[in-house]
Amino acid sequence: MLLNMNPLGPNLAFVWDVIALVLTFVVIQTLVLVNGFLQKREILPTYITRKVIHMFAAPLYVICWMLFSGEAASRYLAMVVPLAFIGQFAAIGLGMRKDEAFVNSMSRTGNPRELLAGTMHYAIVMLVCTILFFETAVPNTTPNPAALLILGALAGGDGLADIIGRRYGAGRTFGPAGSQKSVPGSIAMFVGAAGMSLILVAIFSINTNLSVGMVLLPTLLLSLFATIVEAFSPKGLDNYAIALAVVVGIVILSLVGMWPFAPLWTL
């Protein structure tokens, strides 16, 4: 067992979970600060730094679940991280506090109010996944990997789609006006969603009885479904659309016997 340990013993599980919470904040905040530095020094353009955070914040956060002891308080302490970011996005977006580096690394135009849209939606999906699926990190079990596939598609798929679409998608767009997607971007969405999801499953397989082979076909099917839904989702709602697509896809796979885990409605 690599992670999900409590070196302080069961009597101090809460203390260890507070330490795990601090470590999680350090990991995510380091990602934000590094991207802010790269953007400020113009080493990378804003649209790249924004999507780097998009691609890695949720995966790093869910990997940090493995740091917690798994006791009753673990889920609630883990929830503090996305709740804190939701509060931070709201405070900055509503003008109650200023953080230029934070805004520049997470918004397209430098307008703080952008944090109230897609960026906040992203954090809300992280929060909901924590509420519903935190047990994914319990060692020596075969957990339901729904959170890994939801966040994998949201982070890896949507993040890579924007980068590739901007670079190679000019003149090859489709979809509803105002929210058009490109063929290269949609291909990147599928590759990024499947790739990040399988990477997360592989990491969690260190601690649990999950394996990439168990989820390979479901992941490919769910990534394809999420790609189709994302391509036609309304502007500004793609984070929710991708997450819901994966959830609906898992329900469908469960009904046809292609989801080798407990159906979501039984959790």
DSSP-assigned letters across all residues of 171-188: T-EESSTTS-EEHHHHHH
Give the type of residue at 141.
Answer: T
Helix, strand, or coil (residue 49): helix
The pLDDT of residue 101 is 63
pLDDT digits (tens, 9 = 90+) for 211-264: 999 999 999 999 999 999 998 888 778 899 999 999 999 999 999 999 999 899
The pLDDT of residue 150 is 97
Q: What are phi and psi of 171, to 5 degrees?
A: 80, 0
Residues making up the chain, counted from first to last: 267
Give the type of residue at 188.
Answer: A
The pLDDT of residue 225 is 97
Is pTM, for the whole model, over 0.85?
yes
Distance (Å) of CA 197 to CA 30, 140, 147: 23, 20, 9
The pLDDT of residue 72 is 84
Task: Please identify every stretch of the chain with a pLDDT value under 50, giving residue numbers as ranges.
Answer: 1-2
How far, in Å, CA of 219 to CA of 241, rounded? 17
CB 239 within 8 A of CB 158: yes
